[in-house]
Structure 1
Amino acid sequence: MTGAVPYLDIEQACRELVLRAARCADAGDAAGLAQLFAPDGILVRPHAEPLQGRASIEAAYAQRPAGRLTRHLVTNTLVETESPASARALSYVLLWTGSSADLDTPHGRPAHARQLVGEFDDRFALCAEGWRIQRRDARFVLHSG
């Protein structure tokens, strides 16, 4: 069992990064999202040019339309520790979208008809600031609507 606890700590830190990134994206927190990446981190989004570095990631997400609502439901995150300073994970993602301009009812706002199922293929690195996303390849796999 020697070494088991540090690997569990690595897996937990990486899972938390995945969830925090989804939370920042949904909250419109571009700066917070960018800080979850390594300083030279790369974010590859579906059908878009790769973003490299925190400033590039923050600038791209800061351009998000103000009224756009999203919820990234992240599941099945499987973390594989490669070394004491690197790990990777694959997560499944269901993306719901809506608009804050729609009437907010007791059941919330209506979701757009299109639902997207995708994946986050993440590589993590242990940086001076702690664990960070070194590279994220985000892709869509299925859609409805």
Structure 2
Amino acid sequence: MERALLDELLAERAITRLIHQFIRLNDSGDYEALASLFTPDGRFARPTTPDQPIIGRVAILASFKARPPRLTRHLAANIEIDLLPDGQAAQARSQIILFTSPVAGGPVSLLVGGFDDELVRQGEDWLFRSRQGSLLMKGGLQDAP
């Protein structure tokens, strides 16, 4: 029983790390590494366009490279992970806050949303099979008087 609990905790830690890696790679513009976090046939739907899924690692990479340059900082919170009984798949939910600006010092937009993820274990690694985004709120931030 003790070994099963340890395996579960290690899987949850690896999945949490994967979610944080996605954010870091997105904010740093390392889209090749970001795309490699998905299975070859992975599916990604941005929170701003949840009804327009991008299917396949190659298409996911192309979609990120096609975006205009901007400054972003994503924050993830309330990560919940449910391992499936076989230990080779999981589901996760997280809330996301995104601050974005077209240039340093420019106006800042704020988006609040979330992701519903399906994950699979491949060898020692966990990969996204699907990341389904949703948007809850959006707006701009103003300088304080």
Match of 1:140 in 2: 135
2:93 aligned residue (90, 93, 100) = 90
Correspondence 1:56-71 to 2 at 5 A: 56-66=59-69, 68-71=70-73
Unaligned runs of 5+ in 1: 103-108
Q: Which runs of 4+ in 1 moved over 3 A?
A: none
DSSP 3-state at the match of 2:68 = coil
Match of 2:121 in 1: 126
The number of aligned residues is 136
Unaligned runs of 5+ in 2: 141-145
DSSP 3-state at the match of 1:23 = helix
| TM-score normalised according to structure 1 size | 0.87
Letter in 1 for 2:74: H
Match of 2:33 in 1: 32
Match of 1:73 in 2: 75
Give the Cα separation in 2 of the matches to 1:63 and 1:7: 38
Q: Give RMSD over aligned pairs.
A: 1.5
Match of 1:115 in 2: 110
